[in-house]
Structure 1
Amino acid sequence: MPRDQIDAVVGEWREQLPDVVGPSMELGKRVHRLAGRLQEAVRDETAALGLTPAEFDVLSALRRAGPPYALKPSELAAGLLLTSGGISNVLRRLQQGGLIERAADAADARVAWVRLSERGVATAERIVRAVTAAQARLFAPVPEALVAEAADRLRELLIALGDIAKEEE
């Protein structure tokens, strides 16, 4: 079997600190490297549309929510692992760009909603398609069955680590 760059790194650690080498190190390094490749693809596509990865995350979360494409800022922040300050900055930029609208809840003025504008819906769909296509290009040299198996195994690992969907808790 051919060796990847992580094999070389692990081999060096095996010589220097053999007690730190194991499957968890190899998995961690490979997941980190793969995440970097995926993040690079996202950055390239979002930059081409004048967006940041955080703006992409907000637009895609709102679009994924379905009509009326609205969520509370706190829901966005929690779902995207952003601080309240971080989400505020992203929302301000998206609002200035005409991609989102903010509105108070008709029943409770203390509650604010973030909603995709008509332009925001179209932009969200365009960027989600672009990012998905970039990910498909990244994995194109890999047999589809291997990609599916890797996704299934990673799901098993995440579930074993307690990363369970809310509706299943």
Structure 2
Amino acid sequence: MTNQAPRDRAEEIVEQWRRERPDLDPTPFLVIGRLHRVANALTTELTRVYAEYGLGEGEFDVLATLRRQGGDCALTPSDLADQTVVTSGAATKRVDRLVALGYVERRPSGHDGRSRLVALTPSGRALIDEAFTAHMANEERLLSTLSTSERTGLERGLLALARSFGV
């Protein structure tokens, strides 16, 4: 007798569809269903760490986007929206909250007196440096069950899938 891992929910669902619709191949669900469940679980695990720093997912994303630009870089609200892949309205709400918390500031643009740039404050930079360190440790923890070759294979497969969607 072999030691087989117990079936997961995706396998049970595929088996049910095979029984109910033998004319269809439900095996794509083994990938898509698992991806969906893992994505939901990852979001929960990632946002838990952001919350430890008083941040939501969107606020963390804005701070990280500004921080990775380097130096004393400032971005327009449109650039922030593009880089964080949200609407300009959503980016504005995130920036408003971060301004209220003292983590970012709006500065006049040197090129256009009407436009504003968004930049990290010293406290925002300190916060994102600390939060990003914890975030990277959390991501390492979340992937620790995978071997190096499994990570590489997963990364390549996800890249191919992402490219097929143009994301």
- State the TM-score bracket (shorter-chain normalisation): 0.7 to 0.9
* Equivalent residue letter for 2:37: R
Change (3 A) 1:22 1:115: same
TM-score scaled by structure 1?
0.86
Query: Who is 1:75 aligned against?
Result: 79
CA distance in 2, matches of 1:159, 1:74: 24
After superposing the two structures, state which structure 1 stretch, 42-51 or 27-36, moved more. Answer: 27-36
Q: Which has the higher Rg, Structure 1 or Structure 2?
A: 2
CA distance in 2, matches of 1:72, 1:20: 48
After superposing the two structures, state which structure 1 stretch, 38-47 or 73-82, moved more. Answer: 73-82
* Equivalent residue letter for 1:13: W
1:91 counterpart = 2:92 = no
1:112-127 aligned within 5 A: 112-127=116-131
1:26-41 aligned within 5 A: 26-41=30-45
Counterpart of 1:67 in 2: which secondary structure? coil
1:11-160 aligned within 5 A: 11-18=15-22, 19=24, 21-23=26-28, 25-160=29-164
How many angstroms does 1:20 deviate by?
Answer: 6.0
CA distance in 2, matches of 1:69, 1:90: 18
1:10 counterpart = 2:14 = yes
CA distance in 1, matches of 2:99, 2:164: 39
1:48-97 Cα shifts (integer Å, max 9, x gaps) = 11111110111111111112232111111122222222211111110111
Q: Is the contact made by 1:41 and 1:131 (CA closer than 8 Å) also made in structure 2? A: no
CA distance in 1, matches of 2:61, 2:164: 26
**How many residues were matched structurally?**
162
Percent of matched pairs sharing the same residue: 31
Aligned-residue CA RMSD in angstroms? 1.8
After superposing the two structures, state which structure 1 stretch, 154-163 or 141-150, moved more. Answer: 154-163
After superposing the two structures, state which structure 1 stretch, 97-106 or 77-86, moved more. Answer: 77-86
CA distance in 1, matches of 2:20, 2:81: 42
The unaligned stretches of length 5 or more in structure 1 are 164-169
1:79-124 Cα shifts (integer Å, max 9, x gaps) = 2222222211111110111100111211212322110111111111
CA distance in 1, matches of 2:20, 2:69: 49
The unaligned stretches of length 5 or more in structure 2 are none
CA distance in 1, matches of 2:145, 2:136: 16
* Equivalent residue letter for 1:21: P
Change (3 A) 1:123 1:8: same
How many angstroms does 1:136 deviate by?
Answer: 1.1
How many angstroms does 1:45 deviate by?
Answer: 0.3
